[in-house]
């Protein structure tokens, strides 16, 4: 499949460590944990890797040779995928609502499982400095962080997050570790993006050759995609391509929950129109008549410029013509928790269809796929056997979407009116008495 990135006219270059036993990994999608927004973590049971580009050839090797007749990598492990969530304080759902595993429990379990190293890729993580009013040259702040992890259940969670923990899938963990190592190398002083990337970073797991595995008794196909294109060595599916592939493969429904949706660039000047994802959604609704539901976050710090784009999509909803594009806003009530900027908001970034699930770390606007680092997990699963135990990942994620879509926190654009916790509405003006 040809890549849509060529249409962007960006000069990005498209493009194995020693076999180790990685116990588990977790992709936590923008998860707020006390003082950091964590985007991915791999917990390993291997000797600590040397973070030096001169030794990458010894660190990175293809860890499997087994493949099926199609050349797809195959895992013989019994893997388990579990959704994890953080639900902000003062959010009350229906008494019958179901939830993912609490995020703090997932953190504690994974940290308890680690025996030799913990690798974290994070959007930001403040250990010292003005953000937490600490001026210390010791490791005490770092020790405090792990103590704070343990105290999470007794603290007020302010951000709604969703991620997935993957147990007992060493090949996928090793594949994610390659992405971590690329970040580590680029974190060196005066580092530059390789052109091309060394073959040590190549992967054989992608949209054309997903990892075949047994996930809780269900035959599943899984791969990890990444952005931006310049961070994608040979074999790595680009994040935008994975989103478009999932959209184009849907036949019965497309449900999307994302914090921000802009068919434009956001952080470049001048801004540019970027309708790639929007065009794919519209084409699915018009040409294949696939029903689409978009659940977009709105908080007090949300950019109001997003509203016209959502309204234009909603205006295309024509059930009589079998064209269904519904848009709702998900608004986390602020209450008396307004002292932390960009909190009290839904940070979810996922998509679920009748064919696949997509859980990512990027908002849906141009910059997140062109110039910002991110990862996503794409999973497709067979219909489970009647004897299978538990829900598939798709069923779990669809359940989360239905819960939020039908909750009191979900508001149709036409019903928005004045809402004090959403920036899309004007606040009442004070009049002189």
pLDDT for residue 46 is more than 50:
no
Q: Domain holding 326: CATH number?
A: 3.30.870.10
Model confidence band, residue 50 (pLDDT cutoffs 50, 70, 90): very low
Q: Which has more confidence, 47 or 136?
A: 136
Asked if residue 100 belongs to a domain, the reply is: yes
Q: Which has more confidence, 110 or 229?
A: 229
Model confidence band, residue 116 (pLDDT cutoffs 50, 70, 90): confident
Please report, rounded to a whole number, the percentage of residues in the chain having pLDDT higher than 70. 71
For residues 1-15, give the mean pLDDT. 37
Asked if residue 251 belongs to a domain, the reply is: yes
pLDDT at 7: 38
Q: Which has more confidence, 130 or 95?
A: 95
pLDDT for residue 370 is more than 70:
yes
Query: pLDDT by residue (tens digit) across 169-178?
Result: 989 999 999 9
For the chain, what is the domain count? 1
For residues 213-223, give the mean pLDDT. 90
Question: pTM score, two decimals?
Answer: 0.81
pLDDT at 41: 38
For residues 46-69, give the mean pLDDT. 39
31 forms bridges with which residues in the sheet? 38
Model confidence band, residue 425 (pLDDT cutoffs 50, 70, 90): confident
Asked if residue 426 belongs to a domain, the reply is: no
Asked if residue 424 belongs to a domain, the reply is: no
For residues 324-336, give the mean pLDDT. 92
pLDDT at 106: 86
Asked if residue 131 belongs to a domain, the reply is: yes
Asked if residue 237 belongs to a domain, the reply is: yes
Asked if residue 420 belongs to a domain, the reply is: no
For residues 193-218, give the mean pLDDT. 93
pLDDT for residue 129 is more than 80:
no
pLDDT at 429: 46
Domain of 66, in residue numbers = 4-415
Model confidence band, residue 42 (pLDDT cutoffs 50, 70, 90): very low
pLDDT for residue 69 is more than 90:
no
Asked if residue 428 belongs to a domain, the reply is: no
pLDDT for residue 423 is more than 80:
yes
pLDDT at 215: 85
Please report, rounded to a whole number, the percentage of residues in the chain having pLDDT higher than 90. 50
pLDDT for residue 401 is more than 80:
yes
Query: pLDDT by residue (tens digit) across 222-243?
Result: 999 999 999 999 999 999 999 9
What's the CA angle centered on 353, arms 75 and 166, to 5 degrees? 35
Average pLDDT value over all residues in the chain? 79
């Amino acid at each position: 499949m040809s890549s849509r990135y060529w249409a962007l006219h960006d000069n990005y270059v498209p493009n194995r460590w020693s076999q180790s036993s990685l116990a588990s990994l977790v992709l936590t999608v923008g998860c707020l944990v006390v003082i950091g927004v964590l985007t991915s973590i791999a917990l390993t049971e291997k000797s600590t890797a040397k973070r030096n580009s001169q030794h990458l050839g010894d660190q990175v090797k293809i860890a499997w040779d087994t493949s099926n007749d199609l050349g797809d990598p195959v895992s013989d492990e019994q893997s388990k995928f579990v959704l994890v969530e953080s639900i902000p304080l003062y959010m009350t759902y229906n008494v019958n609502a179901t939830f993912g595993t609490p995020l703090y429990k997932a953190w504690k379990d994974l940290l308890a499982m680690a025996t030799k190293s913990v690798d974290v890729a994070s959007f930001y993580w403040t250990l010292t400095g003005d953000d937490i009013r600490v001026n210390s040259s010791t490791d005490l702040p770092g020790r405090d962080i792990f103590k704070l992890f343990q105290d999470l259940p007794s603290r007020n969670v302010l951000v709604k997050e969703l991620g997935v923990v993957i147990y007992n899938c060493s090949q996928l963990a090793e594949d994610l570790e390659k992405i971590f190592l690329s970040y580590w190398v680029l974190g060196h002083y005066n580092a530059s993006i390789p052109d091309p990337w060394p073959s040590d970073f190549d992967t054989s797991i992608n949209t054309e050759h997903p990892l075949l595995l047994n996930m809780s008794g269900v035959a599943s196909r899984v791969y990890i995609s990444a952005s931006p294109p310049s961070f994608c060595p040979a074999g790595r599916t680009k994040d935008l391509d994975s989103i478009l592939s999932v959209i184009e493969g849907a036949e019965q429904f497309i449900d999307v929950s994302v914090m921000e949706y802009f068919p434009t660039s956001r952080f470049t000047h001048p801004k540019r129109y970027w309708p790639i994802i929007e065009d794919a959604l519209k084409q699915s609704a018009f040409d294949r008549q696939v029903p689409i539901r978009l659940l977009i976050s709105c908080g007090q710090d949300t950019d109001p410029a997003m509203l016209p784009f959502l309204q234009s999509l909603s205006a295309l909803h024509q059930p009589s013509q079998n064209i269904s594009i519904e848009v709702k806003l998900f608004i986390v009530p602020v209450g008396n928790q307004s002292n932390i900027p960009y909190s009290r908001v839904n940070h979810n970034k996922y998509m679920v269809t009748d064919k696949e699930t997509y859980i990512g770390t990027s908002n849906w606007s141009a910059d997140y796929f062109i110039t910002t680092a991110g990862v996503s997990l794409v999973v497709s699963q067979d219909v489970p056997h009647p004897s299978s135990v538990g829900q598939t990942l798709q069923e779990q994620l669809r359940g989360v979407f239905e819960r939020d879509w039908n909750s009191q926190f979900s508001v149709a654009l036409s019903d928005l009116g004045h809402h004090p916790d959403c920036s899309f509405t004007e606040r009442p003006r004070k009049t002189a008495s």
